[in-house]
A and B are shown apart, each in its own frame.
Chain A
């Protein structure tokens, strides 16, 4: 049985073999900076705006960004590994912060000469340029062969916009305006989102352990657990709402315990159902990863069953276990978004509100934390997975 699609390690797999791969990306970056609208200026937040290109900028930021990126790309191709990669990654991050601040300044310039409701939103050129700069930074770090740099660069990548925002440099961008208006709601939504996905992971972990203990029924469990994967998430969540509402109607006492058809309860159950497969499979594979000879040795040494589990099977299977947890956590962070359609709250609510109002900034306010959280979870857990593999080499 082939495993379901698992997330690879985005930040680790960015280690390109050749720095040459950076050249087309740098080309894309320059094309996006100069050929695509960097900002959109609209009379209010719901109207489609007029594009603002680099040529209309009153500050020299885009020129500086272009020069920095060209210089960094040159370094990337020409210099030795190690120090060259470090230098280029710093240059690319610097270019990104200049881009951010330059756009913030241009937005301030444009908006102040307009009626109060006017808003300047980030255009497609900015997004493509940002992704290109991110990829280029990744290539540079891959070039250095030092993985700890990745963490520092990621911190800078998150810290720079935060610092720029706190200094007030971005205050006139519509994304920052929207964020300022919804700070409290966003904070609540992030907490709800983490609770939803964390609750689902805990529930699924508990259920997967129970299912693994049922030795004789493993084939039935396998069929059921992989059958669930076939059901589309929208359908499963909807079905659970129908089921829970039926249950609550049949046993009204449940309502007193805070269980209702719409809300976090069916969402957590639904999300957990999808996590069963990776976790159950991971537990099984982890327990099997100790070879029979080691188990025989442990038995001969007189270890009890519990000691064998604790000292032999779990350490040897730790990396597999963490790997399955990584897949489950990332999946649950994504699925928790969908929980909002059945009233479970979370970041999905902001995303769906944004879709209903056709307000792209609101969608982004909800979407960016989801993406950042899944990448962070993916990255941290894959680092732990690698550490486990090194520590207890199977």
Chain B
């Protein structure tokens, strides 16, 4: 158990260290080390507000992604949906060919500034990895396990809920972990569309050549990504039959 928790702990520690470095005093010290005259940075309250916005936008997007990705993944692996499998797969893959920045930009004239275009990009970009992960996790469930459940008289729904999903759980958690990392990154890009996230100080800092808030945003965004990744790794350990790596 102790060995297994190691990756989550290490990733989490990196996250905490980055978060500590994003504190104005620490960041000003780093910027000073670069030989730059530090200008006014973001106070911790503002950083925290942006972080909470970032996290909640990502969480809403992730919930939609999980719902759509897991749902479609379960749907297309059912026997009756064999014929739409290629179509769903192809559409999800085509959506992936549009980079998140471009998706945010294309949604901007239709959905306006702020959260909505970011959410659309989050969903469009995140569904495909979750869908593929769900399908491959469900397909990895052995035929014997399924046949044994059938022989025991389980209904199709019972097989799904009590055999397939539990056996596929490690794969599903892994797919969601990728989606979490993607969601944090895409939300940061949303700052370009005016969503108030941890990407905002980065974009503003780049425009005003103001290194201190930019660096704080950089460190805080990276910290959030590492902390969420660590949380998902820990969750993978808790999941039934879960071995994170």
Contacts and interface: CB of A to CB of B under 8 A. Distances in A.
Q: Note whether A and B form a binding pair.
A: yes
A364 interface: yes
B97 A371 contact: yes
A14 B31 contact: no
A208 B120 CA distance: 34
Contact of A8 (B85, B93, B218, B225): B93
Interface centre among B11, B99, B221, by most chain A C-beta atoms within 10 angstroms, is: B99
Interface string A1-25: 1101101111001111110110000
Interface in B80-126: 82-87, 89-94, 96-102, 105-106, 108-110
A346 to B, nearest CB: 11
B129 interface: yes
B193 interface: yes
Q: Per DSSP, are chain B's interface residues mostly helix, strand or loop, or mixed?
A: helix
Nearest to A341: B206
A130 to B, nearest CB: 13
Contacts of A235: 188, 199, 202, 217-219, 221-222, 225
B101 A348 contact: yes
Contacts of B189: 232-234, 338
A341 B192 contact: yes
B86 A8 contact: no
B55 interface: no
A57 B34 CA distance: 63
Nearest to B33: A246
B117 to A, nearest CB: 10
B178 A363 contact: no
Contact of A364 (B106, B132, B214): B106
Give the size category of A's interface with B.
Answer: 35 or more
B35 interface: yes
Nearest to A250: B35
A289 interface: no
A135 B211 CA distance: 46
Interface stretch (A107-115, A236-244, A291-299, A301-309): A236-244
Interface centre among A18, A234, A364, A378, by most chain B C-beta atoms within 10 angstroms, is: A234
Contacts of B105: 351-352, 354-355, 363, 366-367
B202 A234 contact: yes
Nearest to A229: B181
A370 B102 contact: yes
Contacts of B85: 17
A227 interface: yes
Interface stretch (A70-78, A80-88, A314-322, A329-337): A329-337
A232 B122 CA distance: 13
B34 A249 contact: yes
B166 interface: no
Interface in A1-56: 1-2, 4-5, 7-10, 13-18, 20-21
Contact of B83 (A14, A20, A238, A250): A20
A21 B106 contact: no
A5 B106 contact: no
Nearest to A1: B245
Contacts of A250: 34-35
Nearest to A239: B218
Contacts of A260: none
B109 A246 contact: no
Given A18-B83, A341-B203, A232 B188 contact: yes
A21 B83 contact: yes
Nearest to B189: A234
A199 interface: no
Interface in B1-52: 11, 14, 31, 33-36
B132 A234 contact: no
Nearest to B31: A242
Contact of B89 (A13, A20, A363, A364): A13
A222 to B, nearest CB: 10
B215 interface: yes
Contacts of B178: 2, 4-5
Contacts of B94: 10, 375
Contact of B188 (A142, A229, A234, A364): A234
B66 interface: no
A249 B47 CA distance: 28
A333 B181 CA distance: 20
Nearest to B99: A334
Contacts of A242: 31, 34, 211, 214-215, 218
6 contacts: A8-B96, A8-B132, A230-B11, A338-B101, A360-B108, A371-B102
Interface of A: 1-2, 4-5, 7-10, 13-18, 20-21, 124, 135, 138, 142, 227, 229-236, 238-239, 241-243, 245-246, 249-250, 262, 330, 333-335, 337-338, 341-342, 348, 351-352, 354-355, 358, 360, 363-364, 366-367, 370-371, 374-375, 378
Given A13-B89, A21-B86, A235-B199, 13 more contacts: A7-B96, A16-B86, A17-B82, A17-B85, A20-B83, A234-B185, A234-B202, A234-B221, A235-B219, A235-B225, A238-B202, A242-B31, A355-B193
